[in-house]
Amino acid sequence: MPYVTFLDSILGPIGLYEGLRSVRDDNFIDRMSYYYTNMFLLFFTVLVSTEDFVEPIHCWSPEEFTDSERYYTLQLCWISNTYRVPFSEPIPPQFEPRDNDEVTYYQWVPLILLLMAACFTIPRQVWKYCSQSMFLVVYPRQKTTFAKKYLKMENVYDKGNFLSRKMVRKFADTHLRQDGIFLLKLIAFNTNTVFVSKIINILWEKYRECVHEVGRTVENEFYEGRRTTIRYIPEPNYGHVTDGYESEV
Protein backbone atom coordinates (compact mmCIF):
# COMPACT_ATOMS: atom_id res chain seq x y z
CA MET A 1 0.00 0.00 0.00
CA PRO A 2 1.46 3.40 -0.91
CA TYR A 3 -0.13 5.10 2.09
CA VAL A 4 1.55 2.82 4.64
CA THR A 5 4.97 4.45 4.48
CA PHE A 6 3.48 7.93 4.15
CA LEU A 7 1.20 7.71 7.19
CA ASP A 8 3.78 5.89 9.30
CA SER A 9 6.40 8.51 8.45
CA ILE A 10 4.06 11.41 9.30
CA LEU A 11 2.25 10.08 12.36
CA GLY A 12 4.52 7.19 13.26
CA PRO A 13 6.95 9.00 15.60
CA ILE A 14 4.01 10.10 17.78
CA GLY A 15 2.94 6.66 18.91
CA LEU A 16 4.31 3.97 16.64
CA TYR A 17 8.00 4.32 17.42
CA GLU A 18 9.54 0.89 17.83
CA GLY A 19 10.80 1.60 21.31
CA LEU A 20 7.32 2.51 22.54
CA ARG A 21 5.46 -0.47 21.12
CA SER A 22 5.12 -3.39 23.50
CA VAL A 23 3.05 -5.58 21.14
CA ARG A 24 4.24 -5.75 17.53
CA ASP A 25 1.63 -8.00 15.96
CA ASP A 26 -0.25 -5.28 14.08
CA ASN A 27 -0.41 -4.51 10.39
CA PHE A 28 -1.52 -1.46 8.45
CA ILE A 29 -5.23 -2.32 8.76
CA ASP A 30 -4.86 -2.62 12.54
CA ARG A 31 -3.05 0.71 12.75
CA MET A 32 -5.67 2.31 10.52
CA SER A 33 -8.33 1.20 13.02
CA TYR A 34 -6.80 1.86 16.43
CA TYR A 35 -4.25 4.58 15.64
CA TYR A 36 -4.90 6.72 12.56
CA THR A 37 -8.69 6.84 13.02
CA ASN A 38 -8.13 7.65 16.68
CA MET A 39 -5.75 10.48 15.81
CA PHE A 40 -8.22 12.04 13.37
CA LEU A 41 -11.09 11.78 15.86
CA LEU A 42 -9.00 13.44 18.57
CA PHE A 43 -8.00 16.18 16.14
CA PHE A 44 -11.62 16.99 15.31
CA THR A 45 -12.52 16.80 19.01
CA VAL A 46 -9.96 19.50 19.79
CA LEU A 47 -11.14 21.53 16.79
CA VAL A 48 -14.81 21.41 17.80
CA SER A 49 -14.05 22.04 21.47
CA THR A 50 -11.93 25.08 20.63
CA GLU A 51 -14.73 26.55 18.54
CA ASP A 52 -17.19 25.90 21.37
CA PHE A 53 -15.05 27.88 23.80
CA VAL A 54 -14.45 30.78 21.39
CA GLU A 55 -17.91 31.29 19.86
CA PRO A 56 -20.17 28.27 20.34
CA ILE A 57 -23.41 29.68 18.94
CA HIS A 58 -24.85 32.75 17.20
CA CYS A 59 -28.02 34.12 18.76
CA TRP A 60 -30.04 37.12 17.76
CA SER A 61 -30.65 39.63 20.54
CA PRO A 62 -32.45 42.99 20.54
CA GLU A 63 -30.42 46.14 20.00
CA GLU A 64 -31.25 47.51 23.43
CA PHE A 65 -29.43 44.61 25.14
CA THR A 66 -26.18 45.45 26.85
CA ASP A 67 -23.02 43.40 26.38
CA SER A 68 -23.63 41.45 29.57
CA GLU A 69 -27.19 40.71 28.50
CA ARG A 70 -26.00 39.52 25.10
CA TYR A 71 -23.42 37.30 26.76
CA TYR A 72 -26.10 35.87 29.03
CA THR A 73 -28.33 35.26 26.01
CA LEU A 74 -25.57 33.38 24.22
CA GLN A 75 -24.90 31.20 27.25
CA LEU A 76 -28.60 30.49 27.68
CA CYS A 77 -28.97 29.59 24.02
CA TRP A 78 -25.97 27.28 24.25
CA ILE A 79 -27.05 25.26 27.29
CA SER A 80 -30.73 25.21 26.29
CA ASN A 81 -32.12 23.04 23.54
CA THR A 82 -32.93 24.93 20.37
CA TYR A 83 -35.53 24.33 17.70
CA ARG A 84 -35.66 25.22 14.04
CA VAL A 85 -38.14 27.74 12.67
CA PRO A 86 -38.04 28.64 8.95
CA PHE A 87 -37.99 32.34 8.13
CA SER A 88 -41.24 31.99 6.23
CA GLU A 89 -43.14 30.66 9.26
CA PRO A 90 -44.08 32.43 12.49
CA ILE A 91 -42.64 31.40 15.84
CA PRO A 92 -45.07 28.90 17.39
CA PRO A 93 -46.69 30.30 20.54
CA GLN A 94 -47.29 26.86 22.03
CA PHE A 95 -44.46 24.96 23.72
CA GLU A 96 -45.39 21.52 22.38
CA PRO A 97 -44.27 22.17 18.76
CA ARG A 98 -41.04 23.63 20.10
CA ASP A 99 -40.33 20.53 22.19
CA ASN A 100 -40.99 18.24 19.22
CA ASP A 101 -38.50 20.08 16.97
CA GLU A 102 -35.65 20.47 19.46
CA VAL A 103 -32.06 20.11 18.30
CA THR A 104 -30.00 18.58 21.11
CA TYR A 105 -26.94 17.09 19.44
CA TYR A 106 -24.49 19.97 19.03
CA GLN A 107 -23.54 20.31 22.71
CA TRP A 108 -22.47 16.66 22.81
CA VAL A 109 -20.39 16.50 19.63
CA PRO A 110 -16.98 16.60 21.43
CA LEU A 111 -18.08 13.90 23.88
CA ILE A 112 -19.42 11.75 21.05
CA LEU A 113 -16.11 12.06 19.18
CA LEU A 114 -14.20 11.12 22.35
CA LEU A 115 -16.46 8.11 22.84
CA MET A 116 -15.85 7.02 19.24
CA ALA A 117 -12.08 7.38 19.73
CA ALA A 118 -12.30 5.27 22.90
CA CYS A 119 -14.26 2.58 21.03
CA PHE A 120 -11.46 2.34 18.48
CA THR A 121 -8.60 2.16 20.98
CA ILE A 122 -10.06 0.11 23.86
CA PRO A 123 -10.04 -3.24 21.96
CA ARG A 124 -6.36 -2.72 21.18
CA GLN A 125 -5.53 -2.03 24.82
CA VAL A 126 -7.48 -5.10 25.92
CA TRP A 127 -5.59 -7.23 23.40
CA LYS A 128 -2.24 -5.86 24.59
CA TYR A 129 -3.11 -6.62 28.20
CA CYS A 130 -4.30 -10.14 27.40
CA SER A 131 -1.26 -10.83 25.21
CA GLN A 132 1.17 -9.76 27.90
CA SER A 133 -0.66 -11.54 30.71
CA MET A 134 -0.86 -14.81 28.74
CA PHE A 135 2.79 -14.54 27.55
CA LEU A 136 1.79 -14.41 23.89
CA VAL A 137 4.08 -11.47 23.18
CA VAL A 138 7.20 -12.30 21.19
CA TYR A 139 9.67 -9.45 20.85
CA PRO A 140 11.38 -8.76 17.50
CA ARG A 141 14.80 -9.98 18.61
CA GLN A 142 13.27 -13.22 19.89
CA LYS A 143 11.47 -13.74 16.58
CA THR A 144 14.68 -13.23 14.61
CA THR A 145 16.66 -15.49 16.95
CA PHE A 146 14.01 -18.19 16.64
CA ALA A 147 14.17 -18.08 12.83
CA LYS A 148 17.99 -18.02 12.78
CA LYS A 149 18.18 -21.07 15.04
CA TYR A 150 16.31 -23.33 12.64
CA LEU A 151 17.74 -21.82 9.46
CA LYS A 152 21.23 -22.59 10.77
CA MET A 153 20.20 -26.22 11.16
CA GLU A 154 19.36 -26.25 7.45
CA ASN A 155 22.64 -24.49 6.56
CA VAL A 156 20.84 -21.68 4.73
CA TYR A 157 21.79 -18.80 7.03
CA ASP A 158 25.10 -16.97 6.63
CA LYS A 159 25.89 -14.99 9.77
CA GLY A 160 28.65 -13.02 8.10
CA ASN A 161 26.46 -11.84 5.23
CA PHE A 162 24.75 -8.53 6.00
CA LEU A 163 22.08 -9.08 3.33
CA SER A 164 21.29 -12.51 4.76
CA ARG A 165 20.91 -11.08 8.28
CA LYS A 166 18.63 -8.34 7.01
CA MET A 167 16.49 -10.78 5.02
CA VAL A 168 16.09 -13.08 8.03
CA ARG A 169 15.00 -10.14 10.16
CA LYS A 170 12.44 -9.13 7.52
CA PHE A 171 11.39 -12.76 7.15
CA ALA A 172 10.64 -13.03 10.87
CA ASP A 173 8.94 -9.62 11.18
CA THR A 174 6.82 -9.47 8.02
CA HIS A 175 6.42 -13.08 6.86
CA LEU A 176 6.24 -15.24 9.99
CA ARG A 177 5.04 -12.44 12.26
CA GLN A 178 3.67 -12.86 15.77
CA ASP A 179 1.08 -15.54 15.09
CA GLY A 180 3.41 -17.58 12.88
CA ILE A 181 6.16 -17.70 15.51
CA PHE A 182 3.63 -18.67 18.16
CA LEU A 183 2.28 -21.50 15.98
CA LEU A 184 5.79 -22.74 15.16
CA LYS A 185 6.66 -22.78 18.85
CA LEU A 186 3.59 -24.91 19.53
CA ILE A 187 4.65 -27.29 16.75
CA ALA A 188 8.19 -27.45 18.17
CA PHE A 189 6.82 -28.18 21.63
CA ASN A 190 4.70 -31.09 20.36
CA THR A 191 7.06 -32.52 17.70
CA ASN A 192 10.82 -32.09 17.28
CA THR A 193 13.31 -29.55 16.00
CA VAL A 194 13.94 -31.38 12.71
CA PHE A 195 10.28 -31.13 11.72
CA VAL A 196 10.12 -27.43 12.60
CA SER A 197 13.37 -26.69 10.75
CA LYS A 198 11.94 -28.29 7.60
CA ILE A 199 8.81 -26.14 7.84
CA ILE A 200 10.82 -22.95 8.37
CA ASN A 201 13.13 -23.84 5.49
CA ILE A 202 10.13 -24.26 3.16
CA LEU A 203 8.70 -20.93 4.32
CA TRP A 204 12.13 -19.32 3.87
CA GLU A 205 12.39 -20.55 0.28
CA LYS A 206 8.88 -19.27 -0.46
CA TYR A 207 9.81 -15.92 1.05
CA ARG A 208 12.98 -15.67 -1.04
CA GLU A 209 11.05 -16.51 -4.20
CA CYS A 210 8.57 -13.73 -3.41
CA VAL A 211 11.38 -11.25 -2.76
CA HIS A 212 13.18 -12.16 -5.99
CA GLU A 213 9.93 -12.00 -7.96
CA VAL A 214 9.19 -8.53 -6.62
CA GLY A 215 12.76 -7.48 -7.41
CA ARG A 216 12.49 -8.74 -10.98
CA THR A 217 9.16 -6.98 -11.44
CA VAL A 218 10.55 -3.68 -10.20
CA GLU A 219 13.66 -4.08 -12.35
CA ASN A 220 11.59 -4.84 -15.46
CA GLU A 221 9.33 -1.86 -14.83
CA PHE A 222 12.40 0.34 -14.35
CA TYR A 223 14.03 -0.69 -17.62
CA GLU A 224 10.69 -0.59 -19.43
CA GLY A 225 10.25 2.98 -18.23
CA ARG A 226 13.73 3.86 -19.41
CA ARG A 227 13.03 2.40 -22.84
CA THR A 228 9.92 4.53 -23.18
CA THR A 229 11.68 7.74 -22.16
CA ILE A 230 15.00 7.42 -24.00
CA ARG A 231 14.69 8.72 -27.54
CA TYR A 232 17.03 8.14 -30.46
CA ILE A 233 18.69 11.36 -31.57
CA PRO A 234 20.48 10.93 -34.95
CA GLU A 235 23.87 12.46 -35.46
CA PRO A 236 23.93 15.43 -37.84
CA ASN A 237 24.79 14.61 -41.43
CA TYR A 238 25.76 17.41 -43.75
CA GLY A 239 25.21 17.42 -47.48
CA HIS A 240 23.30 14.16 -47.90
CA VAL A 241 20.02 12.51 -47.00
CA THR A 242 19.74 10.13 -44.03
CA ASP A 243 16.63 8.15 -42.99
CA GLY A 244 14.42 10.17 -45.30
CA TYR A 245 15.37 13.56 -43.83
CA GLU A 246 17.62 16.00 -45.74
CA SER A 247 20.07 17.91 -43.63
CA GLU A 248 20.93 21.52 -44.23
CA VAL A 249 24.52 22.48 -44.93
Between residues 32 and 10, the one the model is more confident about = 32
Crossing angle between the packed helical segments 37-54 and 109-133, to the nearest 10 degrees: 150
In a domain, 249, yes or no: no
- Domain of 184, in residue numbers: 138-229
What pLDDT score does 221 carry? 54
Q: What is the pTM of this model?
A: 0.45
Whether residues 172 and 190 fall in one domain: yes
What pLDDT score does 119 carry? 92
What pLDDT score does 132 carry? 59
Whether residues 8 and 50 fall in one domain: yes
Whether residues 20 and 107 fall in one domain: yes
**CA 89 remoteness from chain centre:** 49
Query: What are 51-108's pLDDT values in tens digits?
Result: 767 666 777 778 888 888 888 888 887 777 777 777 787 877 777 767 677 776 667 8
Q: Looking at 132, 156, 171, which one is the last position of a domain? A: 132
User: What distance in Å separates the CA atoms of residue 175 and residue 170, rounded to the nearest whole number?
Assistant: 7
Whether residues 105 and 12 fall in one domain: yes
What pLDDT score does 240 carry? 46
Q: Band the pLDDT of 117: cuts 50, 70, 90.
A: very high
Whether residues 82 and 107 fall in one domain: yes
Whether residues 28 and 14 fall in one domain: yes
- The mean per-residue pLDDT over the stretch 184-195 comes to 83
3-class secondary structure, 22: coil
The sign of the dihedral angle between the CA atoms of 18, 23, 29, 33 is negative
Q: Band the pLDDT of 225: cuts 50, 70, 90.
A: low
User: Is it the case that residue 115 has pLDDT exceeding 90?
Assistant: yes
In a domain, 246, yes or no: no
Radius of gyration of the chain from its Cα atoms, rounded to whole angstroms: 33
138 close to 147: Cβ distance less than 8 angstroms: no
Query: What are 127-172's pLDDT values in tens digits?
Result: 777 765 555 555 556 777 778 787 888 777 777 676 677 788 788 8
